[in-house]
């Protein structure tokens, strides 16, 4: 009887599948072999945490972490805003009051739109891509952020989320378009930089937009002025293997006391793409130029609802605002930032391990 069962068609499939699953399990274990600090006290604990290529730990100062990413989250959410005088034909993802709050937040933080560098049509281009450009001037430098919109309509699915397949047959997709627009934005900003200030460019986006933000970073990773990418609940498609410049690039943007990676992936626990990215993590080991930061604000079991960028951005903004209201900015804030980074752990030992991991990333050999 047993011999008969093992010779049936389903059994033959099972005999093929089991070895494949074993290989994936073994490979997955090696890919996810990170050091938890404290040991056994991170996985399964639904609190804000950060993961480098070697260490995973809880974050001590949730508000500081929220503040680190609030501006980029606001830009990524605002990318879904419709023009005031135009109906783009899709269900709105931003309510007027939300749009106003995001815009005011960014303006109050010193950011302003660079409309002249926004070459895509006011709703989207022929492949569905849309983005904004923001800049902020300081005495020493000009910060420029390219914020890509995520999935909104049919063209985003056809020309963006189907990149996995389309890239084998055509260059007509959003990842190619994003590279072209980024080159134009960079040229525009360099041409307008009459003061000779240092230009620092970064990219951001949500969902599909987060994938595009990483793709343009990879394409410009060796450009002196391109600093970082901030990807919120991003797609797993990053076009890393399709980057035009295959030479090694720096994994961090500083080698000081608190170095940071070139790419941040920021998301909420249980959001829908976080579950899909698990399969990507099983296939590929952690990269030294990527950190993941996980928050847990929604307190909902609906993974689609937890994927909302507007709600995520507004919550990060609120956390930063409440922390600032409780703190005497003239005395406590400078003192606090002088002794720890926003990514400090609840205990000093874990913070030291994480810092060592970040410094090791700065010296790691890139592919």
Could you report the per-residue pLDDT of 3-32, keeping only the tens digit for each? 434 444 444 444 434 443 443 444 344 445
Question: Domain extents for the chain?
Answer: 63-325
The CA–CA distances, whole Å, from 240 to 43, 143, 237, 300, 356 equal: 28, 24, 8, 33, 26
Give the mean pLDDT of 283-311.
Answer: 79
Buried b (16+ CB within 10 A) or exposed e, 336-352: eeeebbbbbbbeeebbe
Alpha-helical (H) ranges within the chain are 2-6, 9-31, 62-78, 96-108, 154-156, 163-166, 174-192, 208-220, 272-283, 309-326, 332-339, 348-362
285: number of Cβ within 10 Å: 13
Burial environment of residue 253 by CB neighbours within 10 A (0 to 12, 13 to 18, 19 or more): middle
Calpha distance 25→6 (Å, rounded): 24
For the stretch 68-108, pLDDT in tens is 999 999 999 999 998 887 888 888 889 999 999 999 999 99
Which run of H or of E encompasses 257? none
Can you give the pLDDT at residue 330? 43
* DSSP label at residue 289: T
Can you give the pLDDT at residue 164? 77
Lowest mean per-residue pLDDT among 59-63, 89-93, 143-147: 89-93
Give the mean pLDDT of 273-289.
Answer: 71
**Average of per-residue pLDDT values in the chain:** 82
286: nearest Cα among 233, 360, 216: 360
For the stretch 198-251, pLDDT in tens is 999 999 999 999 999 999 999 999 998 999 999 999 888 788 888 888 888 989
Can you give the pLDDT at residue 29? 45
Looking up tokens 């909420």, which residue turns up?
268
Class (C level, CATH) for 63-325: alpha beta
Burial environment of residue 126 by CB neighbours within 10 A (0 to 12, 13 to 18, 19 or more): exposed
Calpha distance 28→362 (Å, rounded): 25
Calpha distance 324→268 (Å, rounded): 23
In this predicted structure, the answer to whether residue 344 has a pLDDT above a threshold of 50 is: yes
Lowest mean per-residue pLDDT among 130-139, 268-277, 306-315, 329-338: 329-338
Can you give the pLDDT at residue 298? 65
Could you report how far apart the first and last alpha carbons of the chain are, in Å? 53
Can you give the pLDDT at residue 334? 41
DSSP secondary structure string for all residues of 45-109: --S-EEE-SSEEEE-S-HHHHHHHHHHHHHHHHHTTPPPTT---SS--SS-HHHHHHHHHHHHHT
Percent of the chain clearing pLDDT 70 (strictly above): 79
Give the mean pLDDT of 340-367.
Answer: 84
pTM above 0.75, yes or no: yes
């Amino acid at each position: 009887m047993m011999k008969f069962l093992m010779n049936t068609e389903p059994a033959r499939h099972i005999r093929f599948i089991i070895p494949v699953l074993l290989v994936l399990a073994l490979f997955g274990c090696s890919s996810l072999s990170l050091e938890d600090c404290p040991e056994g006290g991170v996985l399964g604990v639904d609190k804000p945490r950060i993961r480098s290529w070697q260490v995973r730990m809880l974050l001590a100062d949730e508000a500081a972490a929220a503040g680190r990413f609030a501006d980029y989250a606001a830009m990524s959410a605002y990318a879904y805003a419709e023009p005031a005088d135009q109906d783009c034909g899709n269900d709105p993802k931003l309510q007027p009051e939300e749009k106003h709050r995001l815009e005011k937040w960014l303006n109050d933080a010193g950011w302003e739109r660079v409309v002249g560098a926004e070459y895509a049509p006011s709703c989207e281009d022929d492949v569905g891509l849309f983005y904004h450009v923001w800049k902020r001037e300081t005495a020493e430098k000009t910060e420029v952020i390219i914020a890509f919109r995520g999935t909104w309509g049919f063209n985003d699915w056809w020309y963006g989320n189907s990149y996995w397949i389309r890239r084998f047959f055509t260059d007509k997709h959003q990842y190619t378009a994003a590279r072209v627009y980024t080159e134009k934005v960079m040229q525009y900003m360099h041409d307008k930089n009459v003061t000779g200030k240092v230009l620092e460019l970064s990219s951001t986006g949500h969902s599909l937009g987060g994938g595009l933000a990483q793709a343009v970073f990879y394409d410009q990773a060796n450009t002196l002025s391109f600093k970082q990418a901030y990807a919120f609940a991003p797609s797993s498609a990053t076009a890393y293997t399709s980057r035009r410049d295959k030479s090694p690039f720096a994994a961090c943007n500083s080698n000081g006391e608190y170095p940071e990676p070139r790419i941040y992936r920021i998301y909420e626990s249980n959001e829908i793409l976080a579950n899909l990215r698990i399969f990507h993590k099983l296939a590929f080991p952690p990269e030294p130029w990527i950190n993941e930061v996980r928050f847990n604000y929604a307190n909902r079991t609906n993974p689609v609802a937890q994927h909302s960028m507007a709600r995520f951005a507004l919550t990060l903004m609120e956390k930063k605002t409440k922390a600032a209201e409780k703190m005497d900015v003239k005395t406590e804030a400078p003192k606090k930032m002088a002794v720890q980074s926003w990514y400090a752990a609840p205990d000093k030992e874990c913070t030291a391990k994480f810092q060592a991991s970040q410094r090791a990333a700065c010296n790691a050999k890139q592919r």
